[in-house]
Amino acid sequence: MTGIVDWAAERARMVLAFIALSLTIGTAAYVGLPKEGEPDIEIPALFVSVQFPGISAADSETLLVRPMETELADLDGLKEMSGTAAEGYAGVALEFEFGWDKTQVMADVRDAMNKAQSSFPTGAEQYSINEINFSEFPIIIVNLTGPVPERTMARVAKDLQDRLESLEPVLEAGLAGNRDEMLEVIIDPLKLESYNVTADELIRVVQNNNQLIAAGELRSEQGTFSVKIPSSFDDQTDVYDLPVKVNGDRVVTLGDLATINLTFEDRQGTARFNGEKTLALQVVKRKGFNLIDTATLVKEEVAAAEANWPPELRAAVEVGSSNDQSRIVDSMVRQLEGSVLTAVALVMIVVLAALGLRAALLVGFAIPTSFLLCFVFLTVMGVSISNIVMFGLILAVGMLVDGAIVVVEYADKRIKEGSGPMHAYVEAAKRMFWPVVSSTATTLCAFLPMLFWPGVPGEFMGMLPVTLIFVLSASLVVALVYLPVMGGVTGRFSRLLDNASLALQAKLPWLVRAAMVPVVLTMLFLGAMMLLEPGFLFPPIGEGLLAHLPGVALFLIGSVLASIVLDAASVHWKRTRVDGRRRRTLFGYFIKFIAGNPIMPLVAGAAVLGFVFSVFTYFGENNNGVEFFVESEPEQAIAYVRARGNLSLDEKDALVRRVENIVLAHPGVINAFSFAGDGGLNTDASGASIPGDTIGQVQFETIPWEDRADRPELDGDIVIEELNAAAARLPGIEVEIKGLEQGPASGKPVHLRLKADDWDTLHTAAETARQKFETTPGLTLIEDTRPLPGIDWQIDVDVEKAGRYGADVATVGAMVQLVTRGILLDTMRVDTSDEEIDIRVRLPEEDRYLSTLDTLRVRTEDGLVPLSNFISRQPVAKLAEINRVDQKRYFDVKADVLVGLSKVVTAGPDGDQVLAIVESAEAGAITGSNGDTYSLFSSETGATADSIQTAIDEGARLVSVNANERIEVLNAWLDTDPLPGVQTEWTGDQEEQAESQAFLGNAFAAALGLMFIILLAQFNSFYNAVLVLLAVILSTTGVLIGMLVMDQTFSIIMTGTGIVALAGIVVNNNIVLIDTYQEYARYMPRIEAIVRTAEDRIRPVLLTTITTMAGLAPMMFGLSLDFFGGGYSIDSPTALWWKQLATAVVFGLGIATVLTLVFTPSMLALRVWFTTYALWGFRLLARLGGGRASRAGRDWALQRAARKVKSPTILWDDDETPGTDYEDGASGAPKLEDLKKVLKRSRSQDGEPPVQAAE
């Protein structure tokens, strides 16, 4: 395999061409990759629905849902099946395992539904199958406001909708706040009676006259002609003149019986933007398109459409936007780009300080080359640039240079010894080939199992291991193929630079040379900025790659000049004197102290293990709990307005407006889009269901973080907290304000599901669970999914009496529709609408009451008969829908957890006891051990603030109250007082958390197994392989220390991912140490090999460690430098998102490295001393058992004699060689084994024990 290095060196020009091609294609790939905020997750789910007008929820469950569940339950790969039975329809949601074959699953579902459909009652419509896609949420909302007529505004909005939906990246531009047109036929019941006309006759007349009839063709000698009878309605006059009945000589038209108006349907919802009535276009992006570019394209198209409006319309209609996701994504991408560049800069500074300019440039060459190759792979896969991918690059910055550092450091050592550049780099790549391959392979092994992460968290985090695998694979090619060629070529070029530097030193004084340094550094900086931002210095000369050419040229020229000038300006205070003697370093003396005797390895190993155990113990007692995902500061939020009862739309709108006024009055809110009733899209991309009693929403944005970084009082969390407090004072409604979360969160974290078949048992259990939730401190925004209280009017038809009059249920239904939505006569097309509009006949508005049914009459064989003769009406409890999961009925009880709560825990004889729950407060009466102040929130023990303070002073600890902690409390309640007849399970975030936690544990074990196989193949030693993997435990210790120091909560997703990632990173140090030790141990005593290894490898070990830590340190501290606009930011929402993962890697790697540099030499020395004394013991037993004449006795005598002379001499006869083999017991020269032992003894100058020296 190492022959590939020689092959590449012999074809240097071809490799250089490949390097240029990689850089060019990679740059083009990055420019063309779509950019989005979060990964586009495709949920493997389908929704099957069946419409059945008029069916009740109970009948829908029995006649529709259950037959569907029976047939669909046996589908392969089905994860969960949930059903909904409601008035007028039934639906079943099917969630499958990730990795499904959608085509095959759709076919299987159709087959199952065809079987179920055969058992549906008559009247059920054809089923429909739709794919559930949670990623289809609005990326921007375009709002149209102004004092213009509704029809004008609707026409403008629909024209704009057509233009936006014609754009390729736009999937949908849904309208909110609009009403569809309809032709309203308002009839006078008295006229119908007087003309003896029924509703059925009206329907038949309209339908028979509203159609286009193709009457065929007429063929004659003059030609062939098509004959048509156009009779479809074009405008309302066609309907007005429609003949209904002939009364004598007079034709009664529909206009004689009714008033016909072209109007709008009854309003089902309202929409407002910043308090003004609006029509809103909610734009949804297609999958695979750039979110930022799509939003920009939408804005440009809106501006182009607005420019074509008449001046009066432009003056009247104001166009605004809200919920603009592109702003957040653009800010996130820029912050992460700044973090990537910050990490690169810090890594380069570390490498520059350790290896020098030329070596640092070669190592720095590996970073952009590996990144660009990664972008090529991502383009081939069709992956978008998201925050996950960007952080993968940040995490990889410090790791991808490890191989390059090892090769460059070894080559630099060989060059100093006199080798030529090409020979040195080729030799370095060949010598370090397998260590670099092994270290990269073990790192990849940590991320390979993460590719199989199940569920939504796995889909969300899936691009992190993919990105790292691509980057590290590319870095392997760069370190072992590209870098040797670049090092050899630039080594020759560096001679020219050295000559130029010497010429400057000879011709110019030092002050002039020093003055040139800031000039060339400025040129280098400007070149880098022009490369990153083509318009930084002057307008771009073109587009695409052409725009980057000036930056490339300026950067290259600046690099060459910087190399010459920096070397020429360097000050050589004294010449280096060559000393051939090897001098022990301080670290070498330290390792010699540990490894040089058989006791200290035991002491050092025990100290390290004791430290690890104490850290685990302390963390178990003082941790901040566990959370599923990181909570970051929101910049967008939704206020759900909740109320119960049979509210009209006007009442709902008035309640929503009150909440809207509170939101808009807050100084931290920049805009708000609100709607009541139906019509608005939910912008929560997490897929969480909205509360069942929601009557409207207020979607608002806070001031962007960049504009309020120095105003913490306007933080998103604080704004939401203040708005919640203000809205809580509104009577009659409940307002739930939720910040739009990033990540795979799925609604409220405390989510209890109750399942049972008996309806009454389920109701009782849900009421009990809700009461427990309400009495549990720390839970807020509690809701359940029991049917909402309400009243429905039930019309009962006495079928027997109706039959006597010749009436039926259909006749009664038509008369009831007259006082509700109206009877749908037919549809027609008009010029003002692109779609067909309904023709509906209904009573005048003043007659639209249920009491009107008492006066309406129907035609029977006996004449007109009042409906009241055979119908009655009564109010009944409303049963909107019945929810089922896994073929059982269920209710959910959900709650959120208040932020800033902690419980005070004291140690008691029966274990830990909760003394009270305290809340963070600026001037609280309770002071924690960390210096923060708290106020008493609740206490079941009756504790006061003074007693709590006393307990804290005596050692009581504060534990953060989060969802997992509250679920533990509720589980204890369920174990003590179980709900009879009901199955309980925690779902939502808790279900995903348990699945992710189990997977990460399995992934961790799988990664260790894969790494063990690779290490065993490299070292061929079980002991060495296990010793390398022990670094993983040391890294976990560092993670726990980091969480304690940074006061962080253990995140299942972020911290867990960091631990798994560390497993592949920290073993690299041990691989380098043990590989070098094995090399040295071939030709020097093993104790000396251990010390020499520690001395020689501490620089590359520390260098690779510090580069990885330096790359992630800014993210750990929340620091991001803006390389484009200048300045910096601390604790931005994007940085906070990755803080826990960065902390895990930085602390885990740093502390593991320090412990490894002590623990690994100790364990290597321990094995040496153990085998030495074990061998000494075996030989002693052999001597005692065989006597002096035995081989063991002669060996013992020879070693004793060798110790008595200062310079042992080997004697043999002139006609014999040291390699001659003698039979046991023969006299003459010593055997070859004896010579080797004595030669080793003579080489040793360290005063090692005689048995060790003679081994």
- Model confidence over 693-734: pLDDT tens digits? 888 899 898 888 777 767 777 888 889 888 988 988 888 888
Whole-angstrom Cα distance, residue 755 to residue 689? 19
Residues near 13 by beta carbon (within 8 Å), at least 6 away in sequence: none
Whole-angstrom Cα distance, residue 561 to residue 577? 30
CA distances from 102 to 40, 76, 96, 109, 130 (A): 17, 12, 10, 10, 12
Q: Which neighbouring-strand residues pair with 857?
A: 866
**CATH class name, domain 633-740:** alpha beta
Tokens for 1202, please give them.
């060798």
Question: β-strand 1119-1121 against 1128-1130: which pairing, if any?
Answer: antiparallel
pLDDT of residue 1127: 67
pLDDT of residue 302: 92
Q: How many CB atoms lie within 10 A of CB 355?
A: 20
Q: Report whether 270 contacts 131 (CB < 8 A).
A: no
Q: Report whether 132 contacts 167 (CB < 8 A).
A: no
Amino acid at site 132? I
Q: Which among 525, 988, 933, 1043 is positioned nearest to 752, based on CA atoms?
A: 988
Residues shown for the chain: 1255
User: Domain map of the chain by residue range?
Assistant: 3-32+329-507+587-596+994-1162, 45-131, 138-178+276-323, 181-264+791-877, 508-573, 633-740, 750-790+891-900+961-987, 901-955, 1187-1253
Q: Would you identify the CATH topology of the domain 138-178+276-323?
A: Alpha-Beta Plaits (3.30.70)
Q: Which among 270, 152, 217, 985 is positioned nearest to 647, based on CA atoms?
A: 270
Amino acid at site 1029? L
What are the b/e assignments for 667-706, b being 16+ CB within 10 Å?
Answer: ebbebbbbbbbebbbbbbbbbbebbbbbbbbbbbbbbebe
Coil vs helix vs strand at 772: helix
Residue with tokens 């009573």: 843
Q: How many CB atoms lie within 10 A of CB 1017?
A: 12
Backbone angles phi and psi of 1225, in degrees to 5: 95, -10
Whole-angstrom Cα distance, residue 309 to residue 540? 34
Tokens for 382, please give them.
């069709």
Amino acid at site 846? E
Backbone angles phi and psi of 67, in degrees to 5: -60, -40
Residues near 973 by beta carbon (within 8 Å), at least 6 away in sequence: 772
Whole-angstrom Cα distance, residue 20 to residue 32? 19
Whole-angstrom Cα distance, residue 916 to residue 942? 8
Backbone angles phi and psi of 641, in degrees to 5: -95, 115
Whole-angstrom Cα distance, residue 613 to residue 607? 10
Q: Which among 257, 1035, 68, 165 is positioned nearest to 616, based on CA atoms?
A: 1035
Check whether domain 45-131 has CATH 3.30.70.1430, yes or no:
yes
Instruction: Please tell me what DSSP assigns to residue 88.
Output: T
Q: Mean pLDDT for each 10-residue chunk of the chain (1255 residues)?
A: 78 86 86 75 85 83 91 89 88 87 90 90 86 76 88 89 90 84 82 74 74 69 72 73 79 83 84 87 83 88 91 89 82 77 79 75 83 88 81 79 82 78 84 83 84 80 86 88 82 73 82 85 80 73 70 80 78 54 78 85 88 87 75 83 85 91 91 81 62 86 80 82 88 85 71 89 91 90 82 81 76 79 79 78 83 78 77 78 88 87 80 82 79 83 85 83 86 90 85 80 86 84 86 87 86 82 80 84 84 84 83 82 69 79 88 86 86 75 66 67 61 48 45 51 43 37
Residues near 233 by beta carbon (within 8 Å), at least 6 away in sequence: 210, 239, 828, 829, 839
**Torsion angle defined by CA atoms of residues 1043, 1045, 1046 and 1051, in that order, rounded to the nearest 10 degrees:** 10
Backbone angles phi and psi of 947, in degrees to 5: -70, -35
Whole-angstrom Cα distance, residue 753 to residue 893? 6
Angle between helices 1191-1203 and 1139-1186 in degrees, nearest 10: 110
Radius of gyration of the chain (CA): 40
Q: What's the distance, Cα to Cα, between the start and end of the chain in Å? A: 35
Helices (H), 478-599: 483-507, 510-532, 549-569, 586-595
Helices (H), 259-356: 291-307, 311-316, 325-355
> What is the residue-wise DSSP string for 18-54?
HHHHHHHHHHHHHHHS-B-SS------EEEEEEE-TT
Whole-angstrom Cα distance, residue 43 to residue 98? 8
- Model confidence over 843-891: pLDDT tens digits? 888 888 888 887 777 777 777 778 888 888 888 777 678 889 988 999 9
Q: Which among 1012, 1050, 1057 is positioned nearest to 1030, based on CA atoms?
A: 1012
In terms of CATH, what superfamily is 750-790+891-900+961-987? Answer: Multidrug efflux transporter AcrB pore domain (3.30.70.1440)
> What is the residue-wise DSSP string for 911-959?
EEEEEEEEEE-TT-SEE-TTS-EEEEEE-SS---HHHHHHHHHTT-EEE
pLDDT of residue 92: 92
Q: Report whether 808 contacts 802 (CB < 8 A).
A: yes
Q: How many CB atoms lie within 10 A of CB 599?
A: 10
CATH architecture of 3-32+329-507+587-596+994-1162: Up-down Bundle (1.20)
Whole-angstrom Cα distance, residue 934 to residue 947? 13
- Model confidence over 569-621: pLDDT tens digits? 776 555 555 555 567 788 888 888 888 888 888 888 888 889 989 988 888 77
Q: Report whether 1132 contacts 1114 (CB < 8 A).
A: no
**Torsion angle defined by CA atoms of residues 993, 995, 998 and 1004, in that order, rounded to the nearest 10 degrees:** -90
Q: Do domains 45-131 and 138-178+276-323 have the same CATH topology?
A: yes
Coil vs helix vs strand at 226: strand
Q: Would you identify the CATH topology of the domain 181-264+791-877?
A: 3.30.2090
Whole-angstrom Cα distance, residue 691 to residue 704? 28
Whole-angstrom Cα distance, residue 174 to residue 299? 16
Q: Report whether 592 contacts 1091 (CB < 8 A).
A: yes
Amino acid at site 714? L
Q: Report whether 677 contacts 265 (CB < 8 A).
A: no
Angle between helices 3-10 and 12-32 in degrees, nearest 10: 90
Backbone angles phi and psi of 35, in degrees to 5: -125, 130
pLDDT of residue 1125: 63
Q: Which among 770, 781, 778 is positioned nearest to 720, based on CA atoms?
A: 781
Q: Which neighbouring-strand residues pair with 858?
A: 865
Tokens for 460, please give them.
């969300």
Coil vs helix vs strand at 728: coil
For the purposes of burial, counting CB atoms within 10 Å of the CB of 312, is it exposed (0-12), middle (13-18) or buried (19 or more)?
Answer: exposed
Instruction: Please tell me what DSSP assigns to residue 385.
Output: B
CA distances from 302 to 152, 164, 305, 578 (A): 17, 8, 5, 75
> What is the residue-wise DSSP string for 1032-1057?
HHHHHHHHHHHHHHHT--EETTHHHH
